[in-house]
Amino acid sequence: MAHTTDTEDPNRRDFLYIATGAMGAVGVGALAWPFIDQMNPDASALALASIEVDVSAVEEGQSITVQWRGKPVFIRNRTEAEVAEAQAVPLSDLPDPLARNANLPANAEATDPNRGVEGKENWLVQVGICTHLGCVPLGDAGEYKGWFCPCHGSHYDTAGRIRKGPAPENLLIPPLEFVSDSQIKIG
């Protein structure tokens, strides 16, 4: 009577272990895929990867809010006084010395010209989300007559730079360009 032992036929057992493990891995992957896939942006967010905004009706001193990638974007046609006030602020007075402008290098200083678009200094386009905890600040408010986040007391100036409060960074400037005198492409 012949007896088989593990040493005589190890390949069969090894194959069964490997095949079982592979089937288990495929099963886990098949179960996990719907959960991973649902984290991707939906079609409406992808469709808004870039938007064009007509700003011809925005008067000097007025602001509008548009949606871009599900976030509010503040577009303000600043007055000459607001631009002059923002340009007069020394960088040493700013808690965040960086421009946070997606159109410039990451280390660009937070000067007023670096917060806008060259040749269109009166226009300020910024993501309207407070950099402290993600609240939406109020426009034409606060100690610096820019934006004010009432949730935790962050004050931004007329260039969207943090001046007082718990917010650690200036409001973000999204990628943008003027495609004409009255059309802004965001994204």
Given the residues 3, 132, 152, 155, select the one marked as catalytic. 152
DSSP-derived letter for residue 137 is P
pTM across the whole model: 0.73
152 is catalytic: yes
Per-residue pLDDT of the chain (187 residues; tens, 9 = 90+): 555 555 556 688 888 888 899 999 998 888 888 888 888 777 666 655 889 999 999 999 999 999 998 899 999 999 999 999 999 999 999 999 999 999 999 999 999 999 988 889 899 999 999 988 888 999 888 898 899 999 889 999 999 999 999 999 999 999 999 999 899 999 8
Buried b (16+ CB within 10 A) or exposed e, 126-164: bbbbbbbeebbbebeebebbbbbbeeeebbbbbbbbbbe
Q: Which residues contact 46 (CB under 8 A, 6 or more apart)?
A: none
34, 28 contact by CB (below 8 A)? no
Cα→Cα distances 65→73, 105, 136, Å = 5, 26, 11
